[in-house]
Amino acid sequence: MWTKGLIFENTCYGAPETWSVYNESDRIAFIKLTSGELTCNLIIGRDAVSNAIKTETIYTKKFEYNRQEEFENEDQRYFYLDLIADKICERIKLKDSNR
């Protein structure tokens, strides 16, 4: 899925709402919907010692049904992924302006 210049790739068919987000060729964020909570974590770097990915949560949404693992339909999926794309673009623009 493409939106706002970002590529959303579904990364796990066992957990259907798990996405990696790419800006050109770089993975810049992770999105998942699990146990009724939708989260987006922006990749902000790597740990100098362990080389583990460091992230910042930039979006969280709790749904009423706490066992929700999938969006109800394509319209809901597109709405939330598009909203998250806005959040990612805002955060990237802010990060770039601080360089």
Token pair 């949560």 in the structure block, residue: 57
> What's the order of all strands across the beta sheet hosting 26-34?
2-3, 6-10, 18-23, 26-34, 37-46, 53-62
| pTM of the predicted model over 0.85 | no
pLDDT tens digits for 65-76? 767 788 989 999
Q: In this predicted model, what pLDDT tens digit does every residue of 17-44 receive, in sequence order?
A: 999 999 987 999 999 998 899 999 999 9
For residue 97, pLDDT over 70 is answered with no
pLDDT band at 95 (very low <50, low <70, confident <90, very high): low
- Alpha-carbon distance of 65 to 37, in angstroms, equals 9
Q: In whole angstroms, what is the distance from residue 55 CA to residue 44 CA? A: 5
Tokens of residue 69, six digits: 């693992």
Provide the token pair at 18: 């798990």
